[in-house]
Amino acid sequence: MSEPLTQLERQVYHFLIDFLAENTYQPSIREIARQFRIKSTKTVSDLLHALEDKGYIQRDESRSRGVRLLGFAAAGTTQPVGYYKSLAAVPPMLRDENRGGFITIDRRFVPTPDVFWLKTTDASMAGRGILDGDYVMVNPSANAADGDVVVARVGHGTIVRMLSRRDTTVVLKSSDASETAIELAPGDNSALLGVVCGVFRPSWEQEPVPLMPVDAAVN
């Protein structure tokens, strides 16, 4: 997939993915033409040829719906995981009105059915590879151990920190040693919500990362 897609090619490719997920079969050339108001079926065929040449699909032109999405396992091996813009201060923490949508990922990376996504709002865990604006997957079923990165509710806010325990006190530390640790005693208005088990960073929301020179790439 070295060649970039044009805007229309990208739109058609996404339509193929969405149509397959909803219908379990691929759209016909005429259905694609109708979706994008393309008058010529030859134009649609040319678009599909371009997607095939660029390595996104394979085609069987003897079949009317003979398109196969390369590397796409369809809904059978993926799972939608809820993304929450905020959490409630009292149980249940995860409420439909606070859900911003779903992020669908390969089911092999979902450790338990009750995981959920949150978006970080600071860079306190940059030393552990979690930046401001990253999406973190939270596993509420995991047993949190000292040194784990956890999500906790402190008062009405939600934070991501490293966990340690001192007797009955829970200590939440930033990866930045200059930040003061947060100590939570029994009875405080707080709760551990789960262990961070994954991080997703949309590249277009971050500063561009310098590319590794070709001759320095590791095979």
Instruction: Examine residue 92 and say whether the peptide bond preceding it is cis (omega within 30 degrees of 0).
Output: yes
Report if residue 82 sits inside a domain.
yes
Give me the pLDDT at residue 204, please: 64
Q: pLDDT tens digits, residue range 35-66?
A: 999 999 999 999 999 999 988 889 887 787 88
- What's the structural domain count of the chain? 2
Same-domain pairing of 31 and 123: no
Q: Is the distance from CB of 132 to CB of 199 less than 8 angstroms? A: no
Supply the pTM of this predicted model. Answer: 0.65
Same-domain pairing of 52 and 134: no
The answer for residues whose C-beta is within 8 angstroms of residue 60's C-beta and 6 or more apart is 66, 67, 68
Same-domain pairing of 65 and 101: no
Same-domain pairing of 57 and 159: no
Rounded mean pLDDT of the chain? 85
Same-domain pairing of 100 and 130: yes
Residue 91 clears pLDDT 90, i.e. is over it: no
- CATH code of 183's domain: 2.10.109.10
Report if residue 219 sits inside a domain.
no
Same-domain pairing of 86 and 178: yes
CA distance 134 to 40: 43
Same-domain pairing of 19 and 83: no
Same-domain pairing of 58 and 97: no
Same-domain pairing of 37 and 119: no
DSSP state at residue 41: H
Give me the pLDDT at residue 217, please: 32
Same-domain pairing of 83 and 52: no
Same-domain pairing of 41 and 140: no
pLDDT confidence bin for 210, thresholds 50/70/90 = very low
Q: pLDDT tens digits, residue range 136-145?
A: 999 999 999 9
Same-domain pairing of 37 and 145: no
Report if residue 89 sits inside a domain.
yes
**Position with higher pLDDT, 172 vs 2:** 172
Q: Range of 60's domain?
A: 7-69
Give me the pLDDT at residue 160, please: 96
